[in-house]
Amino acid sequence: MPDQKAKAILNDIGTEELAHLEMVGTIVHQLTKGASIEEIEKAGLGAYYTDHGVDVYPQAASGTPFTASYIACKGDVIANLQEDLAAEQKARATYEKLIDLCRDEPDVVDPLRFLREREVVHFQRFGEALRGVQDKLAEKKFYLNDTLVNNNASILSTNDNNCNCK
């Protein structure tokens, strides 16, 4: 990562996102805990119950299990940050759809609203990080000629020899 700010923001947002996974898992756990078979069937969770009981299993709303292929890293800082920005928008949109579906359950809607707001803040911070990286990449570069570099290298190696620690 060519930029300290971007490195820090990636580390800190990544950490926060793992806590969000814990929150979503907690919502699912609390909604399914103690539910009767009839309630589970009525909620359309029959197939889920067959495969996982009421354990919290990471899967898409449509039932596709989470896999590492959802995580994108391209070996290119601009592509990676754009991917992160898009992921924040996709998460925001997902929370909005969940809020629509849970509109009559304030105990579910409140944490979902909080999570949605966090994605908006993350998008803002990633945008600032991306601008920082772009500015850095656009900076004029200066190059030293070989003679200067070689001279500096020989000065450095002389200094090394003068050092008494063998």
Q: Are 133 and 2 in contact (CB under 8 A)?
A: yes
CB of 148 to another protein, least distance (A): 33
Count Cβ atoms below 10 Å from residue 109 Cβ, excluding itself: 17
Per the document, the length of the chain is: 166
User: Which one of 2, 14, 21, 29 is in contact with another protein (CB under 8 A)?
Assistant: 29
Residues contacting residue 99 through CB under 8 Å, at least 6 positions apart: 109, 112, 113, 116
- Indicate the residue among 32 and 95 with the shorter CB distance to another protein: 32
Q: Does 151 bind another protein (CB under 8 A)?
A: no
User: Which one of 14, 16, 53, 101 is in contact with another protein (CB under 8 A)?
Assistant: 16
Site for another protein in 68-87 (CB under 8 A): none
Count Cβ atoms below 10 Å from residue 18 Cβ, excluding itself: 8
> Stretches 3-11, 47-55, 81-89, 98-106: which one binds another protein (CB under 8 A)?
3-11
**What is the three-class DSSP state of 114?**
helix
Binding positions for another protein, rule: CB under 8 A: 5, 8-9, 12-13, 16, 22, 25-26, 29-30, 121-122, 125, 128-129, 132
